Structure formats: C-alpha cells, structure tokens
Amino acid sequence: VSLVYFNQRFRDLIQYVPGGPPNYLGSFANLTEAESNGYEAEFEFTPPGIVSASGNYTQASPLVKRVSSSYTGDLLPGQPLLRRPTHSGSGTLRVTPRRGSFAVTATYIGKRPDLDFNEFPSPTVTLPAYTKIDVAGSVDIWRAASNRSSFSLTARAENVLNKEYETVLHFPAPGRVLIIGARFSGSL
C-alpha cells in the first residue's frame, strides 16, 4: 500500500485559446502559473497462488493560479484546468494459471471541465464521469522443455461494454476494440 501527497506547480503552461470572428482561428497562450494538489493511493495484493489484484485512486485539484496580462482566453485564476478530473482510479484483478494469464481492469475518470468550441465565445461545460472495462489474456501454445522459449496467443478487449464517452468534447472515444495476436519469447 502506498499513499502520496503531491503539490505540482506549473509555470508557462500553454493553453489553447479559441479564435473569434471573422475567421475563428485559435492560438496558444501562456497561462503563466497553474497547480495541481492532491492525494494518490495505490495497493497491490499478491497472495500465494494464481490470483492477484491492484488498484489506484487519485484526488486532485488542478487550478489556474495566474495568467499573464496578454492572455486572451477565458480561464481565470481559481478555475479548474481543462480536461483534468478531480477523481480518477482503476482496479485490476489478475489470474495467472501455469500456462497463461487473464486480467480484468476497470478504469474510472471523474467529471472534468472542457470548452465547447462549437460556440463563440466558447462556454465551459462539464464532461460526465465514465467507467470502462478492459479484459486481456494469453495462453501458452508451446513452451520449450527448458522454459526459456514459448509461443503464446494473446487477446485484449478494450471498452468491453462498449461504453460511450468523450475524453474531449465532441470527440467520441472508440467503442469496443478487439486485438488478437501472438507472442514469441526466447531464442530460436
């Protein structure tokens, strides 16, 4: 188990600033100063046997602290930084029998602010929290007598429940993704 307090300070943080009429061309500007303070907790549980688990949780307060006089964006000191959740975490359960492995991971991302660039001036909106589930596994098809070489089939399904969410407003994340492969370890 580990518990961590962090106090990050950012200087010269670059932020996208949407442009206005007539051409709506955006630019990048300096926020001058921002910070993110919070806590992280992690655990790993690996008892004897084939089952293990791990997880983490982060609580953060990412805020704008100071902007330069030339900054033309809408963020003001005391407002949260864009697209950074206050709460996030994940947990993984793993099963590792003798000739393979299987894992299920749940990832939670909390609510976070974003800008709606479809409007001008771009209002701040809140992206909803989401949880997605990923699974992965492998099975050894062949293993050398010396255990130094092996050939395995692998499979991974990301967002297995096909959860609809956006990490950036108006840009949907991929739905369910299936990846199948093979892996050779060792020498010939």
Question: What number of other Cβ atoms are within 10 A of residue 70's Cβ?
Answer: 8
Please state, for a pLDDT cut of 70, what percent of the chain lies above it: 99
Tokens of 8: 């990050």
Tokens of 174: 């991929």
Which pLDDT does position 89 carry in this prediction? 98
Tokens of 55: 């997880």
What's the pLDDT band for 32 if we cut at 50, 70, 90? Answer: confident
Tokens of 76: 């003001």
| pLDDT (average), residues 41-67 | 96
| pLDDT (average), residues 6-30 | 86
Nearest to 135 by CA among 97, 184, 101: 101
φ/ψ of 116, rounded to 5, equals -95, 100
User: Is pTM, for the whole model, over 0.85?
Assistant: yes
Which pLDDT does position 15 carry in this prediction? 85
> H/E/C letters for each residue in the chain?
CEEEEEEEEEECCEEEECCCCCCCCCEEEECCEEEEEEEEEEEEECCCCCEEEEEEEEEEEEEEEECCCCCCCCCCCCCECCCCCCEEEEEEEEECCCCEEEEEEEEEECCEEEECCCCCCCCEEEECCEEEEEEEEEEEEEECCCCCCEEEEEEEEECCCCCCCEEECCEECCCCEEEEEEEEECCC
Which pLDDT does position 81 carry in this prediction? 92
Which pLDDT does position 5 carry in this prediction? 98
What's the pLDDT band for 148 if we cut at 50, 70, 90? Answer: confident
Measured distance CA(81)–CA(93) in Å, rounded = 32
- pLDDT tens-digit readout, 102-140: 999 999 999 999 989 888 888 899 999 999 999 999 999
